[in-house]
Amino acid sequence: MLDIFLLGTGGMMPLPGRWLSSMLLRHEGALALVDCGEGTQVPMKQAGWGFKAVDYIFFTHCHADHIAGLPGLALTIGNAGKETPLDLYGPPGLRRVAESLLVLCPDLPFDVRVAELPMSGEAAEEATAAGFPLFGSFMFGYMPADHGMPCVSYRFSVRRRGEFFPNRARALNIPVRHWRTLQLGVPVTLEDGREIEPGMVTGPERKGVSVCYCTDSRPTARMPEFFKNTDLLVCEGLYGDDAQQQNAAGKRHMVFGEAARLASEAGAGELWLTHYSPAMPNPHDYIEAATTRFANSICGRDLMAKTLSFREV
């Protein structure tokens, strides 16, 4: 199960009633934040999920409307009593920007660890194709975006292990006390010396759940494959009107119709639009530009939430 909270939907600057684009994820009690512009801790407070459990912050890129809120949020997290490390992920250049911003809060009660994500080479290809584990069955992957500066799109997934078959375990005379370990995908050594692999008593991995996050980018040829079959695509639409496509392209952004086309090509379950221009006060006026290309398109709004649960297929 994966809980998703769209904290804000604005681009460039926070507005009354519209915070800057950010997404909060919750899995097994841990919190992961995507982007942190000015004032992000305000909608986080409204979400009510707390601050102490924030273990990860993922940055799409280092423009101010996506990272300038880091010092204030770090102080808020520290005041909430966090003592365990906070891990920051993002494209090359993140370390210099993060360290500069955190000069404003030198006495944090936790360590801040920064991981810059390679934009090319074997590690980047692996992240695009398979992703990396964060903890337990929670994983993330990323791919380079097209914004004129180092920028990435993310995929967050919760994997689902194969079904456990008690009849197989009994046939192999495996004591019940070992069943849970095998269900978690960990091999066990029995008292009689036999090595039991999880696959001996479980079926193939089942479909998990995933959410993809893409903002501040032009569409790229690789995006549909990276977003393929995601349950939810959260994607920017700086402008709603197709007539603004050239304007959006000049700024390395998308319009609603382009985001919807990506969702359709990827076979996504649902599209939430976000990162609206301050010049577009009523995004819903343009929703048909998306729904005509992808029916399950929704104008994201601040404080919109959803829970992705495993489904039998």
Residue spans of alpha helices (H) in the chain: 41-47, 64-67, 70-79, 94-101, 122-129, 166-171, 179-183, 223-226, 245-250, 256-266, 288-291
Distance CA 243, CA 248 (A): 10
Catalytic residue among 55, 65, 231, 302: 65
Measured CA to CA in angstroms, residue 182 lies from 88, 135, 174, 190 at distances of 32, 18, 10, 12
The yes-or-no answer on residue 65 being catalytic is yes
Alpha-carbon torsion angle 90, 93, 96, 101, nearest 10: -60
Tokens 């404080």 map to which residue? 303
Helix (H) or strand (E) holding 27: strand 22-27
Interacting residues of 70 by C-beta distance below 8 A, sequence separation 6+: 36, 57, 98, 101, 102
Supply 239's token pair. Answer: 């402008």
Measured CA to CA in angstroms, residue 147 lies from 55, 63, 217, 220 at distances of 27, 11, 5, 11
Measured CA to CA in angstroms, residue 165 lies from 25, 171, 172, 261 at distances of 31, 10, 11, 41
Coil, helix or strand at residue 55: strand
Distance CA 132, CA 138 (A): 9
The set of catalytic residues is: 65
